[in-house]
Structure 1
Amino acid sequence: MSNETELNQAGFDAIAHAMGQLYPGQKGFYYGTVIPAFLGGNDPLDGVEVWKSERGIPHWHYVTYGFTELYQKESDDPKESGYGFELTFRLKREGEEEPPVWPVNLLQNLARYVFSSGNVFGPGHHMNANGPIALESDTQLTALAFRTDPELGELDTPNGHMIFLQAVGITHDEMEALMCWNGEKFLRAMEEKIPLCIADLARGSLMESPSFRSLWQQGVEKDGSSTGFLYMDEIGAKLSAGTVTLRFGAGHIQTLLNMLQARVGKGRDLYLQGEDASVFFQPGEFAAAMENDTLVLRLPSQALDELRAILRSHAGVYPLSSVPITLELVPTEITDARGNTIRVIE
């Protein structure tokens, strides 16, 4: 192999060397892309390598090749390689001789999102998968959270710095709980229950554990939320003659309750984005104004407490007594993949 060829795959070799150090004497399973994206293919990653780990509990350890600059340096940033990370994923082994392929597809789909949107992941981030992370399964793991892989950490390559970012499978209510606290702290607490945050498709939600829920509540009360943005599809906001009208779908109330307390109740802002409206909550003396189609609403503590108390009600129309705000709670319809209503939350 020539020196030029070695140089051209220096980023690739740096990742391979890190994996070889973590798993000495083992040969990983490499799932390469036939036609990578830079040659016109549909798969953004060059490949995914999988290793057999006995740490924590026996599991498969997946690592991507392609978010960073694997070959020659292309970006203008000498300090960071590509997007600055490669993804890892850990899946509980079930006695298979070879690793399941579905996590490879999951990681390629995450790469498609990053490459097409330009949005990158980082420690403490989360993402709703809008369905099972393993397609055609009935797992409760329907979202992902991200943290620095505890065994691989960070790496300096000839093409710049990078981190190994572990994608962790979580349930929907775990995702909502994570949003109301701090993503990295939530995952550290999770690791006390689940070694290395290894994905187990058969597990239930940690929020059903009284000890874990208590730990989470203590964290929220102490730290508040590090998430300042919340998307809710059912939001309405009007300001007329100094009076504010807010409309929320009943299906999002518990998350909104937690986020209001964890953000505004801790002296921080909270931005709510819906399909047709957006509201920017701020702590402070009452004020309301429309700015660039967003309702900016400042709430004193008394009004916040009253708003949160009313949010616990059923669908209906409720005026607040402490400030000129009227709250409308409307039923939320839960539909299946075909659009059929399977449940109504009031």
Structure 2
Amino acid sequence: MSEQENKSGWDAIDQVMTNVYGDQEPKHFGTLISYQLGGNDPLDGISVYTAKAPIEHWHFVTYGFSELYEKETQDPEISGFGFELTFRLVKTEEESEPPYWAMNLLQNLARYIFGSGNIFKNGDYMDANGPICLESDTELTALAFTCDPELPGIDTPNGKVEFIQVVGITADELEAMQIWNTLGVLKVCESHMPSYVTDLSRSSFLQDPKVKEAVQKGSETEGSNTGFLFNEQISWQPGVKKLFKNKPASVTIGAKQADTIGKVLKGRAVKKEPLRLVSNEATVVFSFGDQPEIIEKDDRIEIILNQESANELAEQLQPSVKSISISSLKSVMFEIVKTDVKDAEGNVVETIG
């Protein structure tokens, strides 16, 4: 049976959308050259519907993360990666066609997933390192991922498929998700963003004192769900023991992420669960115990903190160049170094620290 004859996975997605939009004919954007044949776009297509509620918006849904045709993967329970992405974007009065940048965003996410094998789940987030709509002045520079509120998971002939919605967020909302959790932040923002419709023109919801207070309370009482942070400036050097004077181990952190690391560290201390800082060359692990100490290994350094030492370190992690030590753990020094923020062409646009 050919792909043209067996579209059971594709048809299952179509049926879900029909359940929501009835006989509305979507605008569909297919791929001319398939990814398998050397094309640039991993997705087989993207359909776009016009939704009227809660505000008028474009509703994008992808075809290609799940198995649309014959079953090819080994797991009979999951279809492909197990999900399709959706995206809801405010529709302006002058728009008669969905904006191309939004489809390019979804294809870029597909390139990342197909290239790395990393998938997005309900509650994940991602820093876009710039406007989610290139060459716009939007404050939305990151993405959150949650279950699409209108599209339940489905069972297809090729396995289960969930619909994970992409949500545009600001830099400080991303930090709030890091120090607390994604779904908690989205929930307290829901009254401002029903159905999690992305609006490029909006400002941060943390300007609302009630949202800011809820985030702070959540992080203090529940801690942080973030167990991993990537920072390309993370590095460490082992300590050196000498006859008359020992040299402490040294951990280097970029100024851009120092403050966020401190806030997340506090949240992980509440949970007493580890925080891993990873770069392309090094791994630094913070874990929690009764007695502060360090454990140096070939591939990483583990820094064990108690509540007091975690709070002391977290308070000192600020975006300025300096050396930090904590009173209860003299065997390690922390060096905050400047961060050069670069644009897509590699030009330095800002220096932090």
Q: Is the 8 A contact 2:255 2:318 kept in 1?
A: no
Structure 2 counterpart of 1:24, which letter? G
- 1:200 corresponds to which residue? 199
CA separation of 1:119/1:336 partners in 2, compared to 1, >3 Å: closer, same or farther? closer
Cα distance, 1:6 vs structure 2: 8.2
| Equivalence map 1:64-75=2 (5 Å) | 64-75=62-73
Larger mean Cα displacement after TM superposition, 249-258 or 317-326: 317-326
Structure 1 counterpart of 2:262, which letter? L
2:68 is the counterpart of 1:61:
no
2:91 is the counterpart of 1:93:
yes
- 2:220 corresponds to which residue? 221
TM-score normalised to structure 1 length: 0.93
Flag as ranges the 4+ runs of structure 1 deviating above 6 A: 3-7
Secondary structure, counterpart of 1:179 in structure 2 = helix
Structure 1 counterpart of 2:352, which letter? I
- 2:294 corresponds to which residue? 288
* 1: CA distance, partners of 2:238 / 2:136: 46
- 1:112 corresponds to which residue? 111
1:331 to 320, 324, 338: 338
Q: Which runs of 5+ in 1 are unaligned?
A: none
Task: Indicate the percent of aligned positions where both proteins have the same amino acid.
Answer: 44
2:259 to 233, 237, 254: 254
* 2: CA distance, partners of 1:314 / 1:35: 49
* 2: CA distance, partners of 1:340 / 1:67: 34
* 2: CA distance, partners of 1:117 / 1:33: 21
CA separation of 1:283/1:71 partners in 2, compared to 1, >3 Å: closer, same or farther? same
Structure 2 counterpart of 1:228, which letter? G
| Equivalence map 1:149-160=2 (5 Å) | 149-160=148-159
Larger mean Cα displacement after TM superposition, 329-338 or 19-28: 329-338
Q: Is the 8 A contact 2:293 2:329 kept in 1?
A: no
Residue by residue, what CA displacement relative to the aligned partner does 1:271-314 show, whole Å, maximum 9, x if unpaired? 01134432100001222112232101101222212212322484
* 2: CA distance, partners of 1:77 / 1:334: 42
Q: Is the 8 A contact 1:265 1:283 kept in 2?
A: no
Secondary structure, counterpart of 1:62 in structure 2 = strand
| Equivalence map 1:179-190=2 (5 Å) | 179-190=178-189
The two structures, once aligned, show a CA RMSD in angstroms of 2.0
- 1:230 corresponds to which residue? 229
* 1: CA distance, partners of 2:336 / 2:21: 55
- 2:323 corresponds to which residue? 317
- 1:343 corresponds to which residue? 350
- 2:172 corresponds to which residue? 173
Larger mean Cα displacement after TM superposition, 124-133 or 8-17: 124-133
* 1: CA distance, partners of 2:163 / 2:54: 18
Structure 1 counterpart of 2:306, which letter? P
* 2: CA distance, partners of 1:81 / 1:299: 42
TM-score normalised to structure 2 length: 0.91
Cα distance, 1:213 vs structure 2: 1.0
Cα distance, 1:239 vs structure 2: 3.1
1:24 to 19, 22, 25: 22
CA separation of 1:340/1:119 partners in 2, compared to 1, >3 Å: closer, same or farther? closer
Q: Is the 8 A contact 2:167 2:196 kept in 1?
A: yes
Q: Is the 8 A contact 1:7 1:72 kept in 2?
A: no
Residue by residue, what CA displacement relative to the aligned partner does 1:150-176 show, whole Å, maximum 9, x if unpaired? 100201111111101101111122112
| Equivalence map 1:119-138=2 (5 Å) | 119-138=118-137
CA separation of 1:238/1:124 partners in 2, compared to 1, >3 Å: closer, same or farther? same
Q: How many pairs does the alignment contain? A: 344
2:274 is the counterpart of 1:269:
yes
Structure 2 counterpart of 1:297, which letter? I
- 2:82 corresponds to which residue? 84
| Equivalence map 1:23-42=2 (5 Å) | 23-42=21-40
* 1: CA distance, partners of 2:98 / 2:198: 13
Q: Is the 8 A contact 2:221 2:270 kept in 1?
A: no
- 2:41 corresponds to which residue? 43
2:156 is the counterpart of 1:145:
no
* 1: CA distance, partners of 2:254 / 2:158: 48
Secondary structure, counterpart of 1:326 in structure 2 = strand
* 2: CA distance, partners of 1:5 / 1:176: 44
Structure 2 counterpart of 1:329, which letter? I
* 2: CA distance, partners of 1:34 / 1:331: 45
Cα distance, 1:4 vs structure 2: 7.9
Cα distance, 1:76 vs structure 2: 1.6
